[in-house]
Amino acid sequence: MDTIAQVALQRGAAEENGNAPVVAVEDLHKSFGTQQVLNGVTLAVRRGETLAVLGRSGTGKSVLLRIIIGLQKPDSGSVRIHGQDIAGLNLDQLGKIRMKMGFLFQHAALYDSLTVEQNVAFPLQHHKKEMPKSERAGRVAQLLAEVGMEGSLTKMPSDISGGMQKRVGLARALALEPDILLLDEPTAGLDPISAAEIDDLVLKLQQEHHMASIVVTHDLHSAKTIADRLARINAGNVVIGTANPSTKLEVRGGTLAVTRSSDGAQVFNATDGSVFSNGVISASTGFSLGGSW
């Protein structure tokens, strides 16, 4: 079984903007019984940035998202949302933070017994109780129009396609105007055309709403389309780069060599003398990634 080794995204391209991380994950460890799933995951995502997390099945991508949302607790390590460590929060406080997080679960998870309209209205009904009915209806219509589903308000989830269900899931994730968007496999199970449509939609939403987004995916093509940075998670391997691979790794104009250490971890050596070992990249900005994914 694969485990997540170490992922460090300490100085990504977005840091050049000088803005603080919206989501900062540090040294997360998580085991289930004797199975270690997360083994020192560190990453940071800033406003307006999309990080794609790639990795084979079972590497702990969904567990990582669930820990960020606060649905699962790590064994050690921290998750900070807007600088606030979520570990010490009570349910009320966590609920408030979650309101600013839109998430799409791996299996679209629409409520089967509710219409499309009711599904999108659900978070508003529960978290914006003061919102008048007419305003809520208008907001739901607007959200569904944003994802191209304005014609399906009264349909049941079982009566729309998988791609349409993902669109509705996205509309629901956006209902509370989140500043963090977490998507778990938004294109899984879709045909290539529907998947490309979802990618375009995710890009459009990100351009319009400037959220800090983490998108978990198996699909490298999709990741390259939607993300500013990519993190690939794999047993003993960590590779991190921008979404525009070139034939070599570059850092600050220098060339990075990628070598494989005896324990399988990839070691990054930069011409400026920096050495990135054990998957921890300590001094890189805006490098491109080559090699195979």
Ligand X SMILES: Nc1ncnc2c1ncn2[C@@H]1O[C@H](COP(=O)(O)OP(=O)(O)OP(=O)(O)O)[C@@H](O)[C@H]1O
Applying CB under 6 A, the residues found at the interface with ligand X are 1, 32, 37, 55, 57-63, 106, 218
| Binds 229: which of ligand X, Mg ion, none (CB < 5-8 Å by kind) | none
Q: Does 62 bind Mg ion (CB under 5 A)?
A: yes
| Binds 59: which of ligand X, Mg ion, none (CB < 5-8 Å by kind) | ligand X
Min CB(184)–ligand X separation in Å: 7
| Binds 37: which of Mg ion, ligand X, none (CB < 5-8 Å by kind) | ligand X
* Of residues 78-137, those binding Mg ion (CB under 5 A): 106
Min CB(104)–Mg ion separation in Å: 12
| Binds 288: which of ligand X, Mg ion, none (CB < 5-8 Å by kind) | none
Min CB(58)–ligand X separation in Å: 4
Q: Does 50 bind Mg ion (CB under 5 A)?
A: no
State the DSSP H helix or E strand holding residue 140, giving kind and residue range, or none if neither: helix 133-146
Stretch that binds Mg ion, among 54-62, 68-76, 107-115, 118-126 (CB under 5 A): 54-62
Min CB(106)–ligand X separation in Å: 6
Min CB(273)–ligand X separation in Å: 35
Q: Please choose, from the candidates 218, 232, 274, the residue with its C-alpha nearest in 3D space to the C-alpha of residue 7.
A: 232
Q: Does 165 bind Mg ion (CB under 5 A)?
A: no
Min CB(162)–Mg ion separation in Å: 16
Residues that bind Mg ion (CB under 5 A): 61-62, 106
